[in-house]
Amino acid sequence: MKTRLSNKQNWLRNINLTKDDEFYVGIDVHKKSYTLAFWLNDVSAIDFVMPADNKKVCQILKKCRISLKTIVYEAVLARALQSEKLPVQVIAPGS
């Protein structure tokens, strides 16, 4: 049986980022889930919801590090992202 990949899996598998790309990430953090929105070169690339898992978020974003400009979100994920040397900023809700 052939396994079907999700849109997120296809996007992550097929993306070919370079240092010239500008990749931005917004994360909406909730107790049980995270919503991630990716912007690539001033265009909304993809958004998806995933279980709240700091390690998994870091794994996903490390694949995009070459063009990653910054990560913004409104709430404890920062320590995990910072420990992986990912560029992160904490913003207040409603900013």
| Residue-wise pLDDT tens digits, 37-80 | 999 999 999 999 999 999 999 999 999 999 999 998 765 678 78
Number of domains in the chain: 1
The enclosing domain of 83 has a CATH number of 3.30.420.40
pTM for the model stands at 0.78
Name the residue range of residue 82's domain. Answer: 7-90
Q: Is residue 95 part of a domain?
A: no
For residue 27, which of 83, 76, 84, 63 has the smallest C-alpha distance?
76
Examine the pLDDT at 84 and tell me if it is beyond 60: yes
Q: What is the pLDDT of residues 2-49, one digit of tens each?
A: 567 688 888 888 889 999 999 999 998 888 999 999 999 999 999 999
Domain presence at residue 76: yes
Nearest residue to 77 via CA among 88, 66, 92, 85:
88
